[in-house]
Amino acid sequence: MTLDAIRIKTDEIVDFDIVSKMLDLSHGEKWRQFRSKVQRPILQPQTVKKYVTPIELVTEDFIRYMENARDDNGDLPHEFDNDIHRWSLECIGRVALDTRLGCLSPNVTSDSEPQRIIDAAKYALRNVAVLELKAPYWRYIPTPLWTKYVNNMNFFVELCSRYINEALERLKSKKVTSENDLSLLERVLQSEGDPKIATIMALDLILVGIDTISMAVCSILYQAATRLKQQDKMAEEIRRVLPDPSKPLTYADLDKLHYTKAFVREVFRMYSTVIGNGRTLQEDDIICGYHIPKGVQVVFPTIVTGNMEQFVSNPEEFRPERWLESDGRLHSFASLPYGFGARICLGRRFADLEIQVLLAKLLRRYRLEYHHEPLEYAVTFMYAPDGPLRLRMLERPT
């Protein structure tokens, strides 16, 4: 029995069309076709440049939210990692749906739409692997997990459809003289003609783009708060590049934050948020002299290679400068936090942008500190500090 057959059985409760497309689209020719339709607009630097100001505005709201959430000592709430999820969701809503979802407003309750979106994204991301990698009974009968997964996805489909219909309406009356006048969503809507492609793109970006970046940011902020020397160096660089805090950020400014970017790369090298990637060989191949037959799953554990003496000199030393030197021993494939090749992270330019904007805005004005027991890193779904991220946020002297 195929997905089509399941669709007929339970059509009343779930929108299998999109969900089956999402799972079918994960691999092979269908994935390739989908990716070829959206890859160019998503990965073009000129697309990302357009989002500097929108991401800056979201981030300013986030910092205001943090300022208000601090107690008298400057300590942020224990559930600060959930607040980071809200910021990343607000960023991705702005990019993928051309909207402000309202996740950073002060009155987000546990049953509000933004919190439901965060919870649903976590649920989807954590369970898709179970559906894909364990025995696929769901292909034959709608198992409880499959039904719950599809209901969860339907919530997303409805959400995305709502905003995409609004974007379609706006597009009808928009004066467009060049591609440059269009947002990412509008470009995909205009070039593909089929709103389903835009819906799948939005779902892809939202589902993959919330947890990954949130966990990465938890890790980066924790490292910054526990490595004050390096944090101060970032702050100095940020103030040098951005002397006037009231001036809006530009892509060119961000490009000059060499040390700050090297700090992030060093965090990813030592504590890669995604610990590795896998590929199933589609044909026999020879890798490093070993004959690997078709069908074998090959894993690239970037968390291991990024910490191997063979590829990185003194790997146990946290030293962002290594990324700025040309003579250090640093294999260019040792650390691949965004993967590599045809399937490299589709959102990596947006991820870099969001991280840079957050660090630029936050560290320019504040010093982050951590005054508790050190946090161990653990692989839950991502590799990140395990435990409450109890950061202190103090104004830097001007």
Which of 281/394 has CB closer to ligand HEM? 281
Number of residues that bind ligand HEM (CB under 6 A): 24
CA atoms within 13 A on the CB side of 210: 30
Backbone region of residue 28 per phi and psi (left: phi > 0; alpha: psi in -120 to 50; beta: other values): left
| Positions in 125-144 near ligand HEM (CB under 6 A) | none
Which of 303/368 has CB closer to ligand HEM? 303
Tally of CB atoms within 10 A around 13: 12
- Compute the least distance from the CB of residue 347 to ligand HEM, in Å: 2
Which of 176/287 has CB closer to ligand HEM? 287
- Should residue 264 be labelled a site residue for ligand HEM when binding is judged by CB under 6 A? no
Spatial distance between the Cα atoms of 305 and 352, rounded to a whole number of angstroms: 22
| C-alpha closest to that of 262 among 320, 192, 188, 335 | 320
Contact letters for ligand HEM, residues 187-206 (x by CB under 6 A):
-----------------xx-
Spatial distance between the Cα atoms of 256 and 115, rounded to a whole number of angstroms: 35
Spatial distance between the Cα atoms of 315 and 329, rounded to a whole number of angstroms: 10
| Positions in 339-358 near ligand HEM (CB under 6 A) | 339-341, 343-347, 350-351
- Compute the least distance from the CB of residue 326 to ligand HEM, in Å: 25
- Compute the least distance from the CB of residue 255 to ligand HEM, in Å: 18
To the question of whether residue 160 is assigned a binding role by annotation, the answer is no
Q: Which one among 117, 198, 274, 384 touches ligand HEM, defined by CB under 6 A?
A: 274
> Which run of H or E residues covers position 15?
none
- Should residue 377 be labelled a site residue for ligand HEM when binding is judged by CB under 6 A? no
Q: How far apart are the first and last CA of the chain?
A: 67
Contact letters for ligand HEM, residues 3-42 (x by CB under 6 A):
--------------------------------x-------
Tally of CB atoms within 10 A around 255: 11
Crossing angle for the helix pair 195-209 and 113-133, nearest 10 degrees? 90
- Compute the least distance from the CB of residue 200 to ligand HEM, in Å: 10
| C-alpha closest to that of 74 among 228, 225, 245, 214 | 225
- Should residue 92 be labelled a site residue for ligand HEM when binding is judged by CB under 6 A? yes
| Positions in 215-244 near ligand HEM (CB under 6 A) | 216
What does the angle CA 7 – CA 8 – CA 13 come to, to the nearest 5 degrees?
65
For the annotated binding site for heme, the residues are 345
In the complex, the residues that contact ligand HEM under the rule CB under 6 A are 35, 92, 204-205, 208-209, 212-213, 216, 273-274, 277, 337-341, 343-347, 350-351
